Structures are given as structure tokens and as C-alpha cells.
Structure 1
Amino acid sequence: MSLRRILYNTTVRSPLLHHLRQLSCWSCGKEVKLVSNLFCASCNALQQPSKQDNYFKILGVKETYDQDETELAKRYKDLQKYLHPDKFATRDKKEQEISEIYSSLVNEAYNTLLEPLARGIYMLKLRGKEIPENTEVDQGFLMKIMEKNEEVENAETEEDIMKLNQENKAMIKDLQKKLSTAFFDGDLKRVTKLLSIMKYYTSIDSQIQAAIRSKGIIR
């Protein structure tokens, strides 16, 4: 089976990618209709990524906040398996450069959509919004976050650390559910507020994971 056919079978069947674009192939110059902008049907040359494609379209998943980590990983592996620069070592120099661009783009897409906070910020950006640097947060909430940070710093036993880990994961999961609803409703003001809160709990998560690694805790 050809490389082009394999990629078509593994990445193009997503409903989001069933859009045809007309363009000229950089290699043979022929006008071609491509699905998902991957390979030229005439000469099989890998094409430039389209600037119109966001991370969801690149990975071939629905543009929604709710994402299946297993499905994301599968899409990522399928793409990298066939787009990795090593696969183009004997091809035209331009095609090698395109494969490097594509491979890097797929990495960025996967890493962004995999993380709840990064995914939310990216979706907000797609809607022309950003989280303000000086987002107003309730003082009582800030005190709660400071106390939680101290708890993490002072946690000594595996039991204490894993308890904090479980609690913080539950909080992030709850925020994900609320974000999903807010995005679905188109309530970007609420989305912004929830992402601002999630930033704090994501920071706490990073501290907890560092503590788990430093103490050699096996989960």
C-alpha cells in the first residue's frame, strides 16, 4: 500500500477533514484536489500544511473541549509514523523540509490538545480571545490556593502527597466539565474565568508531580 493511501486511510476519514481544496502541487505543478492537504495525487509529493488548518483539523478530531486522550494519542502516532522526517531522507530537499514542518506541527497540536489548560487557552484563542494578564480573582480563592501550595510543600509522606494529588486531579476534572459546558454554550466570559482558575490548579499539579518524582513514588 502506498504511503499516500496509508495516510488517507488513517487520518482523513474524520468528518472534519472531508473538505477538498484546490491548489497546485509544488512538485509537479498540477492542480489537484487534496483531502486534508497531505499528498499530491499525481506525483505523491507531500504538500505544505494549510494555514487554514487548526490543531483539531491537523489531528483529525472534532473541535470540542472534550477530548479522548487515547484517540489523540492514536492520531498522533499514526501521523508521526508516516510524516516523520526520517521517512523522507531520500526524497527531495523541499519535501524533507515540509516533513519537518509537518512533524513539528503535529507535535505542537498533540501537546496542546492533550493538556486541559493548554487546550482551553487554544480554543479561546481560536475565538479571538485571550486570558487577561491581570484577571481579577477572589481574595478568598487566592488564600485557598496559598494554603494548598503550603500543604504541597510540607507534605512528607507518600500518603499525604497522593491524597493531595487525588484532590487536585478531582478539582481539575471538575473544572474541565464546567469548561466543556461553557464552550458549548458559547459563554466566553465564563470560559475565561474558569481557565484563570485552572491555571492555579495546574501549577499546583506541577508541584505535586515534581514531589512524586523526587520521592520516587510509584503509582
Structure 2
Amino acid sequence: MALRYIITNVGLKSNIINHCRYISCWSCGTNNVNNLVVNLFCSKCNALQQPGTNISYFKIMGVSETYDLDEIELAKKFKELQKYLHPDKFANKPKQEQEISEKYSSLVNEAYKTLLEPLARGIYMLKLKGKEIPENTEVDQEFLMMIMEKNEEVESADSDEEIMKLNNENKTIIKDLQKKLSKAFFDGDLKTVTKLLSKMKYYTSIDNQIQSVIRNKGIIR
């Protein structure tokens, strides 16, 4: 059975690319046509095709373009894709196909990493809307003072109980911001999205600081 059909049967049909109607296989020259959908592999020779341009990470991973994506589904799609696209699978293939595999594998890794992280996912979705978080986004002084205090609390935390309490509190705040972001994206309120992402950057920074302390202390959660 041809590899392209095997992939469809294991659930990777959603990971095919839909950026053009025709694409010529670099290996055999076959025009692969399938109702505006181009398979990852050539329909004739099964050679891995070049990744299309300007394809969103959501389409690459085969998941819905929503802030509330299913992380378990995302991880499953990631494993499925890497199972077929990992460079080790192409060690005995022509050099060009090996290079395409490396490019695809790197692209899938970047897509997975971006969509998995709440902050990175939000920033990416905002970018898809043609917007970015301005470097000079206004944040009120009261909020900044609170962030400074949180950082100081993390730095001065001595016991495991203290750092885990701060960890739980910060995680709760980030989850609340995620809920608000989901609604703002759904409503198309990009102004609110920008403000929420700006705040999430600070809390994500605190989270990174806390996780570093947890690792260094060897705290078992």
C-alpha cells in the first residue's frame, strides 16, 4: 500500500497542505492534484514534497485555529507527523529528500513549540491577524509595582512551600488570562487581546523564574 494512503489511515489526512491546486513533484515531475489539496508525499513516487509557503502552524499541525486548542490532540498530531517526517526515516533517500525532511521536521517542531505555549500561541495568532504587541504598550504603574513585588517574593522564597504557593498562584493567574484571551479572540477584540498578552508576558516571565527555582531546588511536585 502506498505510503500516502497509510498516512491518511492513521489520521494524518488533516496534515496535508492546501496552499495551491497543482504542484510538480521535485523527484518525478508528477502534478499532484486533489481538490485543492496537496499530499505530503507524491501521489506517484511517494517522495516527500517541499513544505508550502505561508502555511499557518495550525494547518501544519492539523488542528483547529483556536486559542483553546486541545493540547493532547496537538501532542498526538506532533508525534504522528514526526513519525513520518523525522530525518532518520530518510537516511537512505536522495540528498534533496533528506534536506526536505530536515526542513519539514524543523518546521513541525517550531509549530508545535509555538502552539503549545499559551503566550507564544497568542502572539502567533495575533500575528496571523496582522497585528503585533507594541514595544511601548502602556501598563499602569500599579500593575508594574505588583509585578516587581511578585519577583521579589520569588527571589526571597526560602522554603519549598513558599515557592510552590507562588507557583500555584501564578499558574491560576495565567489560566485566568487564557480564558479572557480565548473570549477576546473569539470576539475579534484585538485591542483587548494585545493588552492581555502584554500582561501575560510579565506573568510568563515570573513563571519561568519560578520553574527555574523549582528545578534548582529539586522540588518534587
TM-score by length of 2: 0.94
Single out whichever of 132-141 and 20-29 deviates more from structure 2: 20-29
1:154 corresponds, among 134, 153, 156, to 156
User: Contact 1:25 / 1:47 at 8 angstroms: preserved in 2?
Assistant: yes
Letter aligned with residue 92 of structure 1: P
Partner of 2:6: 6
Partner of 2:127: 125
User: Contact 2:17 / 2:40 at 8 angstroms: preserved in 1?
Assistant: no
Q: Distance in 1 between matches of 2:93 and 2:107?
A: 20
Displacement after TM superposition at 1:39 (Å)? 0.4
Partner of 1:32: 32
Partner of 1:23: 23
- Number of positions where the alignment pairs a residue of Structure 1 with one of Structure 2: 218
Partner of 1:176: 178
User: Contact 1:59 / 1:76 at 8 angstroms: preserved in 2?
Assistant: yes
Letter aligned with residue 24 of structure 1: S
User: Contact 1:12 / 1:36 at 8 angstroms: preserved in 2?
Assistant: no
Displacement after TM superposition at 1:11 (Å)? 4.7
Partner of 1:41: 43
Q: Distance in 1 between matches of 2:130 and 2:11?
A: 28
User: Contact 2:17 / 2:59 at 8 angstroms: preserved in 1?
Assistant: no
Secondary structure at the counterpart of residue 39 of structure 1: coil
Q: Distance in 2 between matches of 1:146 and 1:71?
A: 37
Percent identity between the aligned chains? 73
Partner of 2:195: 193
Letter aligned with residue 217 of structure 2: K
Q: Distance in 2 between matches of 1:8 and 1:133?
A: 44
Secondary structure at the counterpart of residue 21 of structure 1: coil
Q: Which runs of 5+ in 2 are unaligned?
A: none
Letter aligned with residue 198 of structure 1: M
Single out whichever of 25-34 and 2-11 deviates more from structure 2: 2-11
Letter aligned with residue 10 of structure 2: T
Q: Distance in 2 between matches of 1:36 and 1:129?
A: 29
1:87 corresponds, among 89, 95, 120, to 89
Q: Which runs of 5+ in 1 are unaligned?
A: none
Partner of 1:107: 109
Q: Distance in 2 between matches of 1:96 and 1:81?
A: 15
Q: Distance in 1 between matches of 2:197 and 2:38?
A: 31
C-alpha distance 36-29 of structure 1, shift in aligned 2 (>3 A): closer
Secondary structure at the counterpart of residue 33 of structure 2: strand
TM-score by length of 1: 0.95
C-alpha distance 189-36 of structure 1, shift in aligned 2 (>3 A): farther
User: Contact 1:7 / 1:79 at 8 angstroms: preserved in 2?
Assistant: no
Q: Following superposition, which runs of at least 4 residues in structure 1 exceed 2 angstroms of deviation?
A: 1-14, 16-21, 34-37
Displacement after TM superposition at 1:33 (Å)? 1.6
